[in-house]
Amino acid sequence: MKKLFITLICLSVGALGANAQSGTHTTAAPQTTATPAKADNPNGPKFKFKGEETHDFGELPEGPDAHYKFVFTNVGKEPLIIQNASGSCGCTVPDWPKQPVLPGKTSEINVTYHTQGRVGPFMKDVYIQSNAGTDRYTLHIKGTVKANPNPTVAPANGATPAKN
């Protein structure tokens, strides 16, 4: 009896699992993966960047922050609104216009890269969420951080080292 009960439970679970995977059930509404309405608007806002969308810093010294301004123009016919901009890691920090960029107007996205403790080559992304035709727009920065040959090591307690 116990074996029969376990067999029936296993068959029931298997049947329910197979039905769930078959897609024949209609308990949930169909899901959509994208909202194409933004891409269909020919008059909508649109980025046009001055120069490249990838900035190569080349070689940078370790320590000071590196800065770059991505300059763009809204070439669409509606105001361009940037809802958010984020770096691919905490070392890449974008600053973007919080006010709408009117058609034909120019603005900039300032990107700061923190070099301290990041010796070696890097390639980072800045993701822009806006009302322009795509869900997310990506800018890129790259370069190589060279080690500081004369690092100053501060004592852990914050005191300045004594001179002999």
Q: What is the pLDDT of residues 52-70, one digit of tens each?
A: 899 999 999 999 999 999 9
Delimit the domains of the chain by residue range.
47-146
What is the CATH superfamily name and number for domain 47-146? Immunoglobulins (2.60.40.10)
Higher pLDDT, 121 or 28: 121
> Is it the case that residue 20 has pLDDT exceeding 60?
no
Residue whose entry in the numeric block shows the structure tokens 């806002």: 45
Specify the DSSP element, H or E, that contains 22: helix 2-22
- CA 41 to chain centroid: 24
Q: Provide the 3-class DSSP secondary structure of residue 79.
A: coil
Residue pLDDT, tens place only, 84-141: 999 999 999 999 999 999 999 999 999 999 999 999 999 999 999 999 877 788 999 9
Contact (Cβ atoms closer than 8 angstroms) between residue 120 and residue 144: yes
Higher pLDDT, 40 or 32: 40
Strand partners, 59: 144
- In this structure, the chain runs to a length of 164
Strand partners, 33: none
pTM: 0.66
Query: Of 97, 101, 54, whose CA–CA distance to 73 is shortest?
Result: 101
